[in-house]
């Protein structure tokens, strides 16, 4: 019996999801991890009637929840403050509470949607303007205060991603504010800024053509390796709220994180920068053609190479759909498993075409060395290791590779090598002759030592890259796409192999009871070093 209201095409979609084919066409939900946490703040209603309402904030909260789920954050670890709940004191209290929950090596996601503001402060150098986020009770949390409150989290977290969909520009509040909103296909579009006493010198955006470029952008400051900031707009721009979908930047970043972003370099993972590039294109399309508006430019600060979520097998945006209504038709549908192809034929009504997206190829294929470089970019900057090669120039067929590693912490040692051919990638350690890769803080490990294995330079001539990792928790090497090469594991670098390598090395595989006394930690954190070796004839 067919379920009421479930049409044949819906049945087909369900079958595609349960058959495993969905991995080729969309995101596979990640397993939740108790080592990841989120604080989501969405304010559309303010106690001060002079502060404009943001009707899209409710959608932003829902979007932020979906982002958190994509980052493998369990619902129990997501704290949400909506409207009247998000007073200045409550926001401060929840940051303090989050600081108490987060352990060394955890990951943190902080999201804010609401009004930003900027006001005059004589203690601030240059133009004397200070930026802040507006709480629902009309009080302001300055960027300085927020930075001080979040700093302890950043010092302990493996990675902290902060996303704020607000703006610190202005010239659009009070009476002029209402004239600056506009309608877009039935949506009310509202700039996410309130003046809150800001003088004209602190409230001049650059993306309204009628305003002057008077505000000087603040000098960017260094951000630790472990922190990523995503801002909906530049410091002197307006960001926009849609009454039907929420913040333009939030909706676009959400969709790109959930599968629309492309792996631009073919490395096998999608970075925060690649997600933001995808989102920027969506924002540009949404605002295109609006009179007098020059756009809204999203910004990334800190570790733009951070990979925030696991997004499936190939990380590529689907190409133009291939239309088919028969399992015998040409194109990607013909490559479906027989059961799915039969379902396509059986469930497709006469005269109705089924659109099956074909994954597009990345713009380029990263070399094996570039892949290791991207994994290295996921390291925890507080976990330091000392790693050296005894002979940085090796003669082909004669010299052997020797590595010395001294970790700062207890953990698990992994060594991967990208060959000088630019295509091969071999996991050197652990291996079948040396399977126990546990290491102790401060104790030097020499490889290969007396384990009975060695790596002799084989060529071709050129640079070889070594990634040395010491992880808190072990990695599940058995899930790599691989083949054996003597005692070593050779990773296959097709689309699936690259993606699996990034996922396995970048994320721990915590066992049951992890985090308990005597057991491995649950965290994904690792320290890493990149080494170079030159092979010559």
CATH of the domain at 501: 2.60.40.2550
492-501 pLDDT tens trace: 888 888 988 9
Do 59 and 142 reside in the same domain of the chain?
Answer: yes
CATH number at residue 277: 3.40.50.1460
Q: Residues, the chain, total?
A: 537
Angle subtended at Cα 291 by Cα 290 and Cα 294, rounded to the nearest 5 degrees: 75
Determine the pLDDT at residue 235.
66
Determine the pLDDT at residue 243.
85
**Within the chain, what is the greatest distance between any pair of CA atoms?**
79
Please report which confidence band the pLDDT of residue 180 belongs to, taking 50, 70 and 90 as the band edges. Answer: very low
Determine the pLDDT at residue 144.
76
Q: Answer whether residue 312 is part of any domain.
A: no
Place of tokens 């469930």: 347
Task: Please state the φ and ψ torsions of residue 478, each to the nearest 5 degrees.
Answer: -65, -20
Please report which confidence band the pLDDT of residue 363 belongs to, taking 50, 70 and 90 as the band edges. Answer: low
Q: Is 465 helix (H, G, I), strand (E, B) or coil?
A: strand
Do 227 and 162 reside in the same domain of the chain?
Answer: yes
Q: Domain total for the chain? A: 3
Determine the pLDDT at residue 121.
58
Lowest mean pLDDT among 3-17, 21-35, 42-56, 441-455: 3-17
Do 400 and 347 reside in the same domain of the chain?
Answer: no
Do 56 and 162 reside in the same domain of the chain?
Answer: yes
Determine the pLDDT at residue 437.
96
Do 351 and 380 reside in the same domain of the chain?
Answer: no
Q: Is the pLDDT of residue 20 over 80?
A: no
Determine the pLDDT at residue 312.
43
Determine the pLDDT at residue 531.
97
Task: Please state the φ and ψ torsions of residue 403, each to the nearest 5 degrees.
Answer: -130, 140
Determine the pLDDT at residue 29.
54
Q: Is the pLDDT of residue 330 over 90?
A: no
Do 214 and 333 reside in the same domain of the chain?
Answer: no
Determine the pLDDT at residue 517.
77
Q: Which residue has the higher pLDDT, 536 or 199?
A: 536
Task: Please state the φ and ψ torsions of residue 431, each to the nearest 5 degrees.
Answer: -145, 180
Place of tokens 């927020």: 146
Q: Which residue has the higher pLDDT, 146 or 208?
A: 146
Q: What is the mean pLDDT of residues 93-118?
A: 92
Please report which confidence band the pLDDT of residue 45 belongs to, taking 50, 70 and 90 as the band edges. Answer: very high
112-160 pLDDT tens trace: 999 887 665 555 555 556 677 889 998 888 877 888 888 888 888 999 9
Please report which confidence band the pLDDT of residue 108 belongs to, taking 50, 70 and 90 as the band edges. Answer: very high
Q: Answer whether residue 275 is part of any domain.
A: yes
Q: What is the mean pLDDT of residues 528-535?
A: 96
Do 224 and 330 reside in the same domain of the chain?
Answer: no
How many Cα atoms within 13 Å fall on the side-chain side of residue 320? 1
Q: Is the pLDDT of residue 507 over 50?
A: yes
Residue 369: count of CB within 10 angstroms of its CB: 21
Q: Is the pLDDT of residue 332 over 80?
A: no
Q: Is the pLDDT of residue 388 over 90?
A: yes
- Asked whether 254 and 63 are in contact (CB, 8 A), the reply is yes
Place of tokens 């027989």: 338
Determine the pLDDT at residue 430.
96
Do 339 and 415 reside in the same domain of the chain?
Answer: no
**What DSSP state is assigned to residue 258?**
I
Place of tokens 């955006």: 205
Q: Answer whether residue 363 is part of any domain.
A: no
Determine the pLDDT at residue 83.
96
Taking CB atoms within 8 Å and a gap of at least 24, the contacts of 208-216 are: 208/171, 208/172, 208/180, 208/238, 208/292, 208/293, 208/294, 209/292, 209/293, 209/294, 210/292, 211/171, 215/127, 215/129, 215/169, 216/126, 216/127
Q: Which residue has the higher pLDDT, 444 or 357?
A: 444
Q: Is the pLDDT of residue 212 over 80?
A: no
DSSP code string of 111-138: EEES-EEEEE-TTSSTT-EEEEEE-TTS
Determine the pLDDT at residue 203.
52
Q: Answer whether residue 97 is part of any domain.
A: yes
Q: Answer whether residue 309 is part of any domain.
A: no
Q: Which residue has the higher pLDDT, 184 or 343?
A: 184
Do 8 and 77 reside in the same domain of the chain?
Answer: no
Q: Is the pLDDT of residue 200 over 90?
A: no
Please report which confidence band the pLDDT of residue 314 belongs to, taking 50, 70 and 90 as the band edges. Answer: very low
Do 50 and 164 reside in the same domain of the chain?
Answer: yes
Task: Please state the φ and ψ torsions of residue 503, each to the nearest 5 degrees.
Answer: -70, -45
Please report which confidence band the pLDDT of residue 292 belongs to, taking 50, 70 and 90 as the band edges. Answer: low
Determine the pLDDT at residue 168.
61
Please report which confidence band the pLDDT of residue 351 belongs to, taking 50, 70 and 90 as the band edges. Answer: low
User: Whole-model pTM?
Assistant: 0.79
Q: Answer whether residue 314 is part of any domain.
A: no
- Asked whether 460 and 423 are in contact (CB, 8 A), the reply is no
Percent of the chain at pLDDT > 70 equals: 70
Q: What is the mean pLDDT of residues 276-297?
A: 82
Q: Answer whether residue 308 is part of any domain.
A: no
- Asked whether 105 and 154 are in contact (CB, 8 A), the reply is no
C-alpha to C-alpha distance for 296 and 301, rounded to whole angstroms: 16
Determine the pLDDT at residue 520.
72
C-alpha to C-alpha distance for 21 and 25, rounded to whole angstroms: 7
71-83 pLDDT tens trace: 999 999 999 999 9
In terms of residue numbers, what domain contains 155? 31-302
Please report which confidence band the pLDDT of residue 52 belongs to, taking 50, 70 and 90 as the band edges. Answer: confident
Q: Which residue has the higher pLDDT, 340 or 400?
A: 400
Q: Answer whether residue 311 is part of any domain.
A: no
Do 3 and 45 reside in the same domain of the chain?
Answer: no
Torsion sign across C-alpha atoms 378, 381, 387, 393: positive
Determine the pLDDT at residue 186.
61
Q: Is the pLDDT of residue 510 over 80?
A: no
Do 11 and 49 reside in the same domain of the chain?
Answer: no
Task: Kindly give the interhelix angle for 495-506 and 368-376, rounded to the nearest 10 degrees.
Answer: 30
Q: Is 333 helix (H, G, I), strand (E, B) or coil?
A: helix
Q: Is the pLDDT of residue 216 over 50?
A: no
DSSP code string of 48-106: STTSPP-TTHHHHHHHHHHHHHHTTB-GGGEEEEEGGG--HHHHHHHHHHHHHHPPTT-
Determine the pLDDT at residue 337.
43
Q: Which helix H or strand E contains 417, and what residues bound it?
A: strand 411-418
- Pair type for strands 140-142 and 438-439: unpaired
Please report which confidence band the pLDDT of residue 311 belongs to, taking 50, 70 and 90 as the band edges. Answer: low
Helices marked H in 463-507: 495-506
Range with top average pLDDT, 144-158, 199-213, 269-283: 269-283
Determine the pLDDT at residue 244.
87
C-alpha to C-alpha distance for 303 and 323, rounded to whole angstroms: 40
Range with top average pLDDT, 117-121, 299-303, 380-384: 380-384
Assigned token pair, 129: 């303007």
What is the distance, to the nearest Å, from the Cα of residue 447 to the centroid of all Cα atoms in its chain? Answer: 34
C-alpha to C-alpha distance for 301 and 224, rounded to whole angstroms: 10
Please report which confidence band the pLDDT of residue 19 belongs to, taking 50, 70 and 90 as the band edges. Answer: very low
What is the overall mean pLDDT for the chain?
77
Q: Is the pLDDT of residue 277 over 90?
A: yes
Q: Which residue has the higher pLDDT, 21 or 490?
A: 490
């Amino acid at each position: 019996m067919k379920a009421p209201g479930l049409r044949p095409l819906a049945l087909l979609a369900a079958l595609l999801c349960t058959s495993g084919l969905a991995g080729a066409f969309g995101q596979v939900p990640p397993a939740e991890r108790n080592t990841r946490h989120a604080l989501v703040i969405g304010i559309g209603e303010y106690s001060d009637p002079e502060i404009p309402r943001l009707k899209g904030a409710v959608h932003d909260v829902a979007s932020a929840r979906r982002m958190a789920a994509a980052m493998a954050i369990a619902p129990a670890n997501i704290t949400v403050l909506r409207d009247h709940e998000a007073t200045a004191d409550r926001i401060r209290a929840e940051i303090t509470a989050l600081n108490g929950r987060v352990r060394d090596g955890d990951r943190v996601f902080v999201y804010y949607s609401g009004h930003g503001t900027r006001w005059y402060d004589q203690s601030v150098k240059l133009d004397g303007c200070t930026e802040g986020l507006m709480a629902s009770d009309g009080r302001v949390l300055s960027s300085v205060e927020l930075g001080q409150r979040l700093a302890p989290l950043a010092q302990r977290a493996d990675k902290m991603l902060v996303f704020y969909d607000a703006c610190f520009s202005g010239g659009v509040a009070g009476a002029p504010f209402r004239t600056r909103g506009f309608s877009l296909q039935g949506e009310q579009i509202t700039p996410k800024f309130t003046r809150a006493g800001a003088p004209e010198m602190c409230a001049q955006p650059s993306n309204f053509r009628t305003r002057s470029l008077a505000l000087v952008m603040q000098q960017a400051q260094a951000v630790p390796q472990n922190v990523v900031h995503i801002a909906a707009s530049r410091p002197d721009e307006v960001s926009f709220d849609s009454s039907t979908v929420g913040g333009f930047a939030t909706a676009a970043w959400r969709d790109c994180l959930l599968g629309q972003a492309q792996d631009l370099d073919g490395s096998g993972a999608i970075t925060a920068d690649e997600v933001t590039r995808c989102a920027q294109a969506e924002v540009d399309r949404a605002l295109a053609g609006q009179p007098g508006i020059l756009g809204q430019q999203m910004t990334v600060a800190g570790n733009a190479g951070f990979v925030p979520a696991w997004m499936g097998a190939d990380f590529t945006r689907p190409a133009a759909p291939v239309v088919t209504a028969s399992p015998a038709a040409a194109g990607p549908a013909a490559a479906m498993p027989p059961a799915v192809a039969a379902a396509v034929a059986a469930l497709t009504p006469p005269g109705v075409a089924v659109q099956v997206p074909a994954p597009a190829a990345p713009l380029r294929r990263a070399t094996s060395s570039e892949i290791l470089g991207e994994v290295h970019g996921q390291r925890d900057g507080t976990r330091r290791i000392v790693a050296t090669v005894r002979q940085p120039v090796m003669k082909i067929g004669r010299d052997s590779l020797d590595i010395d590693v001294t970790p700062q912490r207890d953990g698990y040692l992994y060594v991967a090598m990208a060959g000088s051919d630019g295509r091969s990638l071999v996991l050197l350690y652990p291996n079948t002759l040396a399977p126990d890769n546990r290491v102790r803080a401060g104790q030097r490990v020499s490889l290969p030592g007396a384990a009975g294995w060695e790596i002799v330079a084989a060529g071709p001539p050129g640079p070889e890259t070594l990634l040395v990792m010491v992880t808190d928790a072990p990695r599940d090497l058995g899930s790599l796409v691989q083949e054996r090469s003597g005692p070593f594991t050779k990773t296959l670098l097709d689309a699936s192999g690259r993606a699996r390598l990034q996922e396995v090395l970048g994320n721990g595989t915590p066992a049951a009871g992890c985090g308990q006394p005597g057991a491995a930690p649950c965290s994904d954190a690792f320290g890493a070093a990149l080494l170079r070796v030159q092979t010559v004839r």
